Structure 1
Amino acid sequence: MKRIFVFIVALLALVQLQAHAQTDSVQRYVSAALEIMKNRSVNRHRINWDSLCTDTYKRAAGLKTIKETYPVLKHALTALNDAHSNFYPPEQVEAYTLGYRATGQEFPVIKAKITDNNLAHIELPPIGCYHFAEWDELVNTFYEKITELQSHKPKGWILDLRGNYGGMWYPMLAAISPMLDQHQVIGTVDADGQYAFFDYRNGQLFEGGKAAHRFHVKKQPRPVTQPLVILVSKKTASSGEFCTIAFAGQKQVTVIGQTTQGLTSGNQEYKLADGAFLVLTTGNTVDRHKKEYNVVGQGVTPQVLLNDLSDEACLKAANDILSRHR
Structure 2
Amino acid sequence: MKCRAAFLLMLGLLSGGASADTVWKGTSVNSITSGTGDILEDGGADLRLSAESTGTEKFVGAITSMDARPFQGREVRLAGRLLVEDGAGSAALWVRADGANGRLAFASSAGAPVRAGVGAQARELRLYIPSGTTTLKLGVTLDSAGHVAVQGLVLTAEAATSGGVSAYDMVEYALTTIRANALNAGNVDWSAEEKARLAPALKSLPAQEAYGSIRAVLDLLADRHSFLQHPREADAYRQTAVASRDIEARQMQDIGYVLVPGLRGTEASAGEAFTSQLCEQIERLAPTSAKGWIVDLRQNTGGNMWPMLSGLQPLLGNGNIGASRDRNGTATAWRPESRRACGVDLSSSRVAVLVGPKTASSGEAVAVAFRARPGTRFFGQPTAGLATANRSYPLPDGGALRLTRAVMVDRSGEAYPDGIKPEERVSSDQDAIDMAAAWLR
- The interval holding the TM-score normalised by the smaller chain is 0.7 to 0.9
Judged with a 3 Å threshold, the aligned counterparts in structure 2 of structure 1 residues 271 and 164 are, in CA distance, closer, same or farther, namely same
Contact 2:360 2:385 in 1 (8 A): yes
Unaligned 5+ runs, structure 1: 1-20, 203-216
Q: Deviations over 1:100-143 (max 9, x none)?
A: 5xxxx77741100001x321000110000121111001000001
Alignment of 1:164-179 (within 5 A): 164-179=300-315
1:77 shift after superposition: 1.1
Partner in structure 1 of residue 192 of structure 2 = 51
Contact 1:147 1:222 in 2 (8 A): yes
1:122 aligns with 2:275: no
Separation in 1, partners of 2:209, 2:367: 39
1:286 shift after superposition: 1.2
Alignment of 1:6-85 (within 5 A): 25-58=166-199, 61=202, 64-85=205-226
Partner in structure 2 of residue 302 of structure 1 = 422
The SS at the match of 2:312 is helix
Separation in 1, partners of 2:316, 2:201: 48
Taking structure 2 as the reference length, the TM-score comes to 0.60
Alignment of 1:148-227 (within 5 A): 148-202=284-338, 217-224=339-346, 225-227=348-350
The one-letter code sitting in structure 2 at the alignment partner of 1:301 is: K
The SS at the match of 1:79 is helix
In the alignment of these two chains, the number of paired residues is 279
Judged with a 3 Å threshold, the aligned counterparts in structure 2 of structure 1 residues 73 and 195 are, in CA distance, closer, same or farther, namely same
2:439 to 312, 321, 324: 321
1:112 aligns with 2:249: yes
Partner in structure 2 of residue 142 of structure 1 = 278
1:185 shift after superposition: 2.1
Contact 2:167 2:203 in 1 (8 A): no
Partner in structure 2 of residue 86 of structure 1 = 227
Judged with a 3 Å threshold, the aligned counterparts in structure 2 of structure 1 residues 25 and 58 are, in CA distance, closer, same or farther, namely closer
Separation in 1, partners of 2:395, 2:275: 30
1:257 aligns with 2:380: yes
Separation in 1, partners of 2:359, 2:257: 17
Partner in structure 1 of residue 47 of structure 2 = none
Unaligned 5+ runs, structure 2: 1-161
Alpha-carbon RMSD: 2.3
Partner in structure 1 of residue 238 of structure 2 = 97
- Which structure is higher in RCO with an 8 Å CA cutoff and minimum separation 6? 1
Judged with a 3 Å threshold, the aligned counterparts in structure 2 of structure 1 residues 85 and 309 are, in CA distance, closer, same or farther, namely farther
Larger CA deviation: 233-242 vs 59-68: 59-68
Judged with a 3 Å threshold, the aligned counterparts in structure 2 of structure 1 residues 191 and 159 are, in CA distance, closer, same or farther, namely same
Judged with a 3 Å threshold, the aligned counterparts in structure 2 of structure 1 residues 111 and 131 are, in CA distance, closer, same or farther, namely same
1:65 shift after superposition: 0.6
Judged with a 3 Å threshold, the aligned counterparts in structure 2 of structure 1 residues 182 and 83 are, in CA distance, closer, same or farther, namely same
Contact 2:245 2:262 in 1 (8 A): yes
Larger CA deviation: 49-58 vs 244-253: 49-58
Displaced runs of 4 or more, over 6 A? 21-24
Q: Deviations over 1:135-184 (max 9, x none)?
A: 00100000110111113244210001010011111112212221114522
Contact 1:45 1:191 in 2 (8 A): no
1:59 shift after superposition: 9.7
Contact 2:187 2:220 in 1 (8 A): no
Contact 1:74 1:86 in 2 (8 A): yes
Contact 2:409 2:415 in 1 (8 A): yes
Partner in structure 1 of residue 151 of structure 2 = none
Judged with a 3 Å threshold, the aligned counterparts in structure 2 of structure 1 residues 23 and 89 are, in CA distance, closer, same or farther, namely closer
Partner in structure 2 of residue 270 of structure 1 = 393
Separation in 2, partners of 1:75, 1:59: 18
% of aligned pairs identical? 26
Judged with a 3 Å threshold, the aligned counterparts in structure 2 of structure 1 residues 197 and 218 are, in CA distance, closer, same or farther, namely closer
Judged with a 3 Å threshold, the aligned counterparts in structure 2 of structure 1 residues 143 and 51 are, in CA distance, closer, same or farther, namely same
Alignment of 1:240-255 (within 5 A): 240-255=363-378
Larger CA deviation: 218-227 vs 128-137: 218-227
Partner in structure 2 of residue 11 of structure 1 = none
Higher strand share: 2
Taking structure 1 as the reference length, the TM-score comes to 0.80
1:221 shift after superposition: 3.0
